[in-house]
Amino acid sequence: MPKTHSRFICQQCGRVSASYMGKCPQCGSFSSMVEEIIQEEAPARSPNASRGLTGRTSPRRIGDIATDPEPRMPVPISEFSRVLGGGIVPGSIILVGGDPGIGKSTLMLQLAMEMAKTRGVLYVSGEESERQIKMRADRLLENGASLPENLYLVTETNLSTILDHNREVRPAILIVDSIQTVYLPELDSSAGSVTQVRECSSQLRELAKSSGVSVFAIGHVTKEGVIAGPRVLEHIVDTVLYLEGDRFQAYRLLRSVKNRFGATAEVGVFEMRERGLAEITNPSEAFLAERMVNAPGSAIAVTMEGTRPLLVEVQGLTSAAQFGNARRTPNGVDYNRLLMLAAVLTRRVGVKLGEQDIFVNVVGGLKIDEPAADLAITTAIVSSMRDLPVRADCVLIGEIGLAGELRLPGQMPVRLREAQKLGFKTAIVPKRLRKAEPWPENIHIIEVRSIYQALEVAFAVEQKAASKPKASD
């Protein structure tokens, strides 16, 4: 029997501790520590594991180290390629996380079918039968196209058998759907437990590093710690991608939250259609397509998703609270941020929101966590409250401080250029105190110091707003 000892690991943040703790000292979550049994002769800790990525460990002069770009397999799906940083690095392991039903298997099967046109791909599923996957593949095929020769499917959950299959097929890409369904028979715990998920991932990582196969592991994001979620794996893998979106809406965002071989926070945009996920190469246009111009309660924000600016419509609605308890209901915006913005509006601008329910919605199922959207959110709320539409063809960019002051977010030229490219004529933005980089000239820019001043110029019927007392800062 191999010797074992146990340790505890937080399912939220991955913090390891020798003894059980009710509250994680790192992330502060409660009851998130689970016991993990460690076998001292665990396969992942074979002598190979400490040999480093290239197999050699002798120190070299920094100047002697070659820095040629990583060789990459080009990915024909450009939105996917962008998120990976320009293709798949051989021998890397990539985690693709997301809520159940969001489209991970669909996306990976599409990738598998594209890549299998030029190289071998092995798709291992522990969730669906080979027949089910074949049927999905048929559905994804364009008219008249035939299934790729080099795509192999197998339903298997025993990782040792999966490694055997991999040895036999020798694919360039191995897809494991999902990491929560595979298990190592030599470990006692059941599939999906922290121990299994971590050990299986470590073995897949070993496989990738030693054989050069690129491994994609799909992981379900789980509600607070029932089973091990992708969070505990983030440090084992090279790249972490999340597929997100509103299940009831068509848009899906593929976001890189970690990438050893490229920029993080890069985003690819897709739309779930009848035939799988279609690329949206011009997302701002898509997100604004259904906008009702001149309707009160709507404002356009420009957020940065990675290196790409995105124009999104933010909607606000206020309505007299029914039972004294005014509610704040954000969709796509952080709840606490909304509370803060409502408080700033009440205290600094005098908008009486105390007895109003507030609803905020980001169109397209997008989640925006950038403070640069503050100005659009507050303007949408006030627009609904006053029943005045925001002036036509106008974007609003700016972070709001507690004193009601506006702060300039980064990357303004890129944001303004995108707005201008989509036909917006005006931008209401925070005042520039330092003129560091030039701004585009062919868009009318209104610089304001405070949310109060922004609201004075934001509405279509300016006379009405102008009759209110003047701002002084």
* Interface residue list for ligand TYD (CB under 6 A): 98, 100-106, 136, 139, 272, 274-276
Q: Which is nearer to ligand TYD, 251 or 452 (CB)?
A: 251
Q: Residue of minimal CB distance from Mg ion?
A: 105
C-alpha span between 22 and 5 (Å, rounded): 20
Q: Which is nearer to Mg ion, 230 or 283 (CB)?
A: 230
Residue 5 corresponds to which amino acid? H
Q: Which of 29, 31, 28 is nearest to 20 (CA)?
A: 31
**In the sheet that 214-220 helps form, which strands lie side by side, from edge to edge?**
151-155, 121-125, 173-177, 214-220, 93-98, 239-244, 251-259, 267-273, 276-279
DSSP-assigned states of every residue in 338-407: HHHHHHHIIIII----TTEEEEEEETTS-----GGGHHHHHHHHHHHHHT-PBPTTEEE--EE-TTSBEE
C-alpha span between 244 and 300 (Å, rounded): 22
Burial of 161 (0-12, 13-18, 19+ CB in 10 A): middle
Q: 162 Cβ partners below 8 Å, 6+ apart? A: 124, 154, 156, 176, 182
Q: Which is nearer to ligand TYD, 135 or 466 (CB)?
A: 135
In the complex, minimum distance from the CB of residue 272 to ligand TYD, in angstroms, rounded to a whole number: 5
In the complex, minimum distance from the CB of residue 183 to Mg ion, in angstroms, rounded to a whole number: 17
Residue 382 corresponds to which amino acid? V
Q: 467 Cβ partners below 8 Å, 6+ apart? A: none
Q: Which is nearer to ligand TYD, 52 or 100 (CB)?
A: 100
Q: Which is nearer to ligand TYD, 51 or 139 (CB)?
A: 139
Q: Which of residues 79-118 bind Mg ion (CB under 5 A)?
A: 105
Q: What does 136 bind: Mg ion, ligand TYD, none (CB cut-off 5 to 8 Å by kind)?
A: ligand TYD
In the complex, minimum distance from the CB of residue 178 to Mg ion, in angstroms, rounded to a whole number: 6
Q: Which is nearer to ligand TYD, 98 or 404 (CB)?
A: 98
In the complex, minimum distance from the CB of residue 84 to ligand TYD, in angstroms, rounded to a whole number: 18
In the complex, minimum distance from the CB of residue 89 to ligand TYD, in angstroms, rounded to a whole number: 24
Size of the site for Mg ion (CB under 5 A): 1
Q: What does 100 bind: Mg ion, ligand TYD, none (CB cut-off 5 to 8 Å by kind)?
A: ligand TYD
C-alpha span between 85 and 53 (Å, rounded): 20
Q: Which is nearer to ligand TYD, 270 or 452 (CB)?
A: 270
In the complex, minimum distance from the CB of residue 104 to ligand TYD, in angstroms, rounded to a whole number: 3
In the complex, minimum distance from the CB of residue 102 to ligand TYD, in angstroms, rounded to a whole number: 5
Q: Is the peptide bond before 129 cis (omega within 30 degrees of 0)?
A: no
Q: Which is nearer to ligand TYD, 116 or 272 (CB)?
A: 272
In the complex, minimum distance from the CB of residue 136 to ligand TYD, in angstroms, rounded to a whole number: 5
Which residues make up the interface to Mg ion (CB under 5 A)?
105
